[in-house]
Amino acid sequence: MNDASAAPNPIGRSLSSAELVTTIAHFHRAEIARMAGWRDRLDRTTNWAITVVAAMLSVSLSTASAHHGVLLFAMLLVLLLLWIEARRYRFFDFYRARVRQLERHYFAQIFAPREDFASDWLLIVGEGLRAPKFLLSQRVALARRLRRNYAYLFLVLLLAWVLKISTPSLQAVGARPGLVGSLREVIDNAALGPIPGTVIVAFIAAFYIALFAAAFVAVGDRGELTFGDVHV
């Protein structure tokens, strides 16, 4: 009767030392596989974004009849891919953090022991297995991926768009070479159908200001560099 009413011990406490070591080793290997899988998905999304940028640049700058709206469409596509990659990054960050927990609190303690170093880390891992929760928001994930890769892609698209609307020979066959003569002409060339160029230029300016503010004005986010300069 007493045995039946006694609260069972956590499963980790009932394992022998050898069993616990084997369990942690297999768990670490499995988490690395998960992390690597999400890392591969991140790389695929970045490759898609690079392919989109290269294709749109080729279409827009190699043909004078191509409208500058092609580059605006490329910006929207890259923004969509950034959103998808930020979502994938949240999953990657979750599994990477778990791998780093095992490395910092278990393997590092074997090779270089420290006293009173997060002795309850195994319980934290267990709670994370019972109720997994993202460790960072979508906004922070967007900022990190922007700083890492996408800021450069957006900058390339912006420079290509400015070149397109400021160079007559890239807008009409047989136009004179060189740049336009005035800023007013550049703004007029930015028109998109019935939408005047002033509106398009103002929208693109606001879009890029918001984009780079979100990327580089994130308060107190060291991200991957929290526990060292090397990150995956």
Q: Is 232 part of a structural domain of the chain?
A: no
Q: Is residue 229 part of a domain?
A: no
Q: How many domains does the chain have?
A: 1
Any domain includes 136: yes
Q: Kindly report, residue by residue over 90-114, the tens digit of the pLDDT.
A: 999 999 989 988 888 888 888 888 8
**pLDDT tens-digit series, residues 163-202:** 888 887 766 655 666 666 688 888 888 888 899 999 999 9
Q: What are phi and psi of 120, to 5 degrees?
A: -100, 15
Question: What is the CA angle 148-203-149, rounded to 5?
Answer: 10
The pTM is what? Answer: 0.83
Q: Read out DSSP for 38-105?
A: HHHHHHHHHHHHHHHHHHHHHHHHH-TTS-THHHHHHHHHHHHHHHHHHHHHHHHHHHHHHHHHHIII
Percent of the chain residues topping a pLDDT of 70: 81
Residue 226 domain flag: no
Q: Is residue 115 part of a domain?
A: yes
Residue 114 falls within a domain, yes or no? yes
Does residue 224 form part of some domain? Answer: no
Q: Is residue 3 part of a domain?
A: no
CA-wise closest residue to 34 among 93, 95, 81: 95
Range(s) of the domain holding residue 208: 8-219
Digit-coded pLDDT (tens) for 30-72? 999 999 999 999 999 999 999 999 999 998 888 878 888 899 9
